[in-house]
Amino acid sequence: MSDKILSNIYIQEDGLNLDMLLVSPSLDWKYSFEQKMAMRIDKSQPNQETPNVGCAYIIAKTKSVGLRVKYVDMVTSHYSVEELVEYAKRTKPSIVGFSCFTIQVKSAATIAAKIKEVCPDTLICIGGPHAIAIPVQCLNEFPSFDFIVTGEAENIIIEIIESAGNIDLLSKIPGVVTRKNKTSFIPAQFIQDLGTLPYPAWEEYDLSKYPGTYPHRTKLELPMVSGRGCPYSCTFCCKALGSRMRRRTWDNIMGEIERNVEEFGCESIAFLDETFVLSQKQAYEFCNEMIRRDLHKKVTWSCSMRVSGNSQELFHVMRKAGCYYIFFGLESANEETLKRIRKAIKIKQMVQTVDWVKQAGIIPVGAFIIGLEGTDELEVYEAIELGKKLDLYSITFPIAVPFPGTQLRNLAQAGKYGLRILSDDWDLYGKQDPGVMDTEMFSHERRKELQKIAYSHFPKKKITNYLNLLKSYIPISEIEARAAVNFVSK
């Protein structure tokens, strides 16, 4: 058999008995790859094409004790189901673990069943937001899964592998749900000190296959997380990592950045925290450390944050420290809806924050959600008008999805606000064309029509053109002042 690269490894050995095989699944890598390419804002720039940091942490943890674990990203590796099954047959993993979002879970179950046919003694598990939200239902729905990991796996993965041959031992591990303990499993325990984890094992990846999360325009971008958890209560989010923010120390974070630069030639960092900036004090501390260590001269960085709890000065300091790109979850252009979905932000904060970000020379992007609880068609047009005023580099209009574990799903199941769930086919649970929820007054078909109308107002932009626009940016407040003067003079 000829050698083939599996995202991170050359497959040469026959009969290499693996302790664990980690998989990011796809039934059709070509279709999945085309979908990724279609997400690009600028065809020359990446968008959400990043290596799986969760699997990289797990590999690092298992390597520290000499376990044999490999990772296959089926899309990035261009690996068919048949090729994956053949690899499993040759390497005989004790455990195969799938890392999945809701839209991937059925694909994972199908692949798991095929692996079971050639490796009947291999145990197969699944982790990720979907499994965490509904572990028992997931086991009941998919017989090809032997157990579920319902939380952070790093501190239990070694025990899981060592217990692979004994379902009784697996059933006693906190956060592991089996068919034997599914009515009495021990809840997962969050890792309180994230600094005890080894840095992600990027040395096990072919990083050339991952162009990046955002348009970093450097030789290599790597993902990082500075903390886990989110203290906010947005109704559409499942909060798989908990409600309390657990932040790594600055020394630990800076150490990882320095290691990424020195060992891998990294030139940009994409912070994947749900909310990177929770307080201005922490943000200033981070930026000051970046500058003190001269890391701002070696890497650029991007993040997601809220439009609340910031200042004009903060964004200038962030830019000086290397920040070039920020994503904002805007969600709605209606004040009542923002309250209803528990977003805890205001429209004036959106306008002011984007204004400050542009003045600092940072690229702003954002998203409005179509069809949240209690909303109607008019709110889509309100979002379009606000989007025009904000003039972001990129703005997306996903349709609301009642993901398992969210308050939105609870509301829809109860028929609140007239919501109704149209399908539990997890293959449909994507954000751009779900077709899984609507109301009698705001049908799915109409949501799709309005989504198309919204996107027609915001054609994709070239990053170079937008950067030139930022150089000559006039603050929104000044534009409005000029408009008022012109109106009065008339």
What are the structural domain ranges in the chain? 5-178, 212-481
Q: Output the pLDDT for position 15.
A: 56
For position 2, what pLDDT does the model report?
A: 37
Sequence-separated (6 or more) residues with CB below 8 Å from residue 436: 401, 402, 421, 422, 423, 424, 425, 428, 429, 444
Residue-wise pLDDT tens digits, 173-218:
999 999 999 999 999 999 999 999 999 999 999 999 999 988 999 9
Q: Which two tokens stand for residue 5?
A: 């690269």
> What's the CA gap between 110 and 350, in Å, rounded?
43
Report yes or no: 445 and 466 within 8 Å, Cβ to Cβ: no
What are 120-163's pLDDT values in tens digits? 999 999 999 999 999 999 999 999 999 999 989 999 999 999 99
449 confidence band (pLDDT: 50, 70, 90):
very high
Helix (H) or strand (E) holding 396: strand 394-396
The topology under which CATH files domain 212-481 is TIM Barrel (3.20.20)
- Return the structure tokens found at 127: 């982790």
pLDDT band at 8 (very low <50, low <70, confident <90, very high): very low
C-beta separation of 435 from 331 below 8 A: no
Mean pLDDT calculated for residue range 375-390: 98
- The answer to whether residues 470 and 49 touch, using CB atoms and an 8 Å cutoff, is no
Residue 488: band (very low, low, confident or very high) from pLDDT cuts 50, 70, 90: very low
Q: What is the pTM assigned to this prediction?
A: 0.92
**Through-space distance between the first and last CA atoms of the chain, rounded to whole angstroms:** 79
Distance CA 425, CA 412 (A): 15
Residue, of 278 and 364, whose pLDDT is higher:
364
| CATH number listed for the domain at residues 5-178 | 3.40.50.280
Write out the DSSP string of 407-456: HHHHHHHTTGGGEEE----GGG--SSS--SEEETTB-HHHHHHHHHHHHH
* pLDDT, tens only, 234-287: 999 998 888 899 999 999 999 999 999 999 999 999 999 989 998 899 999 999
